[in-house]
Structure 1
Amino acid sequence: MSLTPVLELSNVSKTYSSRQVLSGLSYSFAAGEYVAIMGDSGVGKSTLLNLIAGLDSPDSGEIRIDGKILPVEDEAATNLRRRHLGFIFQAFHILPHLTLLQNVSLPLLLNRLPLDRAPVMLTAVGLQGREQDFPHQLSGGELQRVAIARALVHRPRLILADEPTGNLDQDTAHEVLQLIRTEIKANQASAIIVTHSRLAAETADKILMLSKHGLTPVPLENQT
């Protein structure tokens, strides 16, 4: 089995409007590793996710996925995101004119994969029987579950989630976080969730605190 990390951050820095958000950030994320990142508001958690996703570029440093430098804002970046990344963002980005099944099927269609996994993932997030519903018929929590199913359906190498349980009740949150864990372990992928919820963070293999000093592991004795 390859020892190459799924994700490597090497001296990554980013400044916005003369304010340095990230400075010399370095860290490696192994295959099968499920990591939660916490930190104060404004410390750069969402910025970090956008950089890893290739939606923005660092001012300096490198980001590698499976040992390859992450390209930004070109066809190569688009193809990498489509094939290897799964996104769960707070805004959902569910397409309103498509049914739930069509929304979840999109990554499979774009990657020319069989479509039979889409209804399986809707069932996995508790939306069986709702395949032909449209987004306007769903609550915020249900839309979040559709976003999670869509992010996982094509078995991505890296899952990025920004407050993935923010619109979910405690029981549903626990179920979808366990689903994320099961999927990445089964596929030897990696997952990074950014969250303010300690309960959500404690489902991860590791909790990292993001601050101006970088990413710092929370001592194991503080994880329960």
Structure 2
Amino acid sequence: MLTLRELTKSYANGRQVLSRLSYRLESGEYVAVMGESGVGKSTLLNLIAGLDAPDSGAIEIDGIDIATLTDDAATLLRREKFGFVFQAFHVLPHLTVAQNVALPLLLNGMSAGNRSKVRSAEQMLEAVGLDGRGHDFPRQLSGGEMQRVAIARALIHQPKLILADEPTGNLDPDTAAEVLRLLRDEIKENGASAIIVTHSHSAAATADRVLELTKTGLHPIATGPEG
């Protein structure tokens, strides 16, 4: 599903963060990536998403080398095949909860009558425990509720790959645990592959596998729950 081939990346100051890193993520696999601060975890996600470019190496999604795509084609690929969950939620304050969740459908040009393969915003909100909240605005939600909206938005268009960057970093432990269970359940139900970057061992434990990022690779360090 996702193949990384000998990725090398340096920051503008010349410090190298990745050196010939290779990895293959299989379809339906959910992995957590851990590592020391500054090791390049968020940089790796940005490279995979095509938001940044490696100095050398290749990133392939379903056999498509991202580097060979035009900017417009790369944008379309992200909209169709990716779902994103961030620490800061990135819920748009001027849109209702339902409008926030439905945004990927709008960006992908899906009309209301052409959504047979995706769940509606109302169905997604019910799935994440926010049934009846579609007309509310983000200012009426707690942090945990906003992250639920972000999860619903990331999954509504049934993307093949979910990228989550510290998705529970702004949540209290109980809310974080609830959100992580929800994220895992929804990823598995949608049959998506997923990479979650986190400092939290409890967050990492929800994944199928836990990997440590070093400059030269992703190395197994633990095994998460099966399923």
Matched, 1:168 2:163: no
The one-letter amino acid of 1:210's match is L
2:88 paired residue number: 91
- Tell me whether 1:143 sits opposite 2:138 in the alignment: no
Change (3 A) 1:96 1:219: closer
1:149 deviation in Å?
Answer: 1.1
Structure 2 partner of 1:3:
none
Aligned length: 217
Task: Among all aligned residue pairs of Structure 1 and Structure 2, give the percentage whose two residues are the same amino acid.
Answer: 66
Calculate the TM-score normalised by the size of structure 1: 0.89
Q: Is there any run of 5+ residues in structure 1 with no aligned partner, and where? A: 1-5
Q: Which runs of 5+ in 2 are unaligned?
A: none
Q: Tell whether 2:31 aligns with 1:30.
A: no
Deviation at 1:212, TM superposition (A): 2.4
Change (3 A) 1:95 1:87: same
Residue equivalent to 1:103: 100
Q: What does 1:212-223 correspond to in 2, within 5 Å?
A: 212-220=215-223
Q: In 1, Cα distance between the equivalents of 2:25 and 2:150?
A: 23
Look up the match of 2:9.
Answer: 14
| Whole-angstrom distance in 2 between the partners of 1:219 and 1:142 | 30
Matched residue, 1:57: 53
The 2-side partners of 1:178 and 1:99 are apart by 25
Question: The residue matched to 1:105 in structure 2 has which SS?
Answer: helix
Question: 1:89, CA displacement in angstroms?
Answer: 1.3
Following superposition, the deviation at residue 63 of structure 1 comes to 0.3
User: Contact 1:54/1:73 (CA < 8 Å) preserved in 2?
Assistant: no
CA RMSD of aligned residues (A): 1.9
Q: What amino acid does structure 1 have at the position aligned with 2:170?
A: N
Per the alignment, residue 39 of structure 1 pairs with 35
Matched with 2:181 is 178
Question: Could you tell me how far 1:177 is from its partner in structure 2?
Answer: 2.7
Q: State the match for 1:122 in structure 2.
A: 125
**Partner SS, residue 218 of structure 1:** strand
Asked if 1:210 is matched to 2:213, the reply is: yes
CA contact (8 A) 2:33 2:211 kept: yes
TM-score by length of 2: 0.88
CA distance in 1, matches of 2:154, 2:119: 15
Listed one character per residue, the Cα deviations across residues 12-66 of structure 1 (whole Å, up to 9, x for unaligned) are: 1111120111111100000110000001111000000001111111110000001
User: Structure 1 residue 173: deviation in Å?
Assistant: 3.1
Q: Which moved more, 1:70-79 or 1:177-186?
A: 177-186
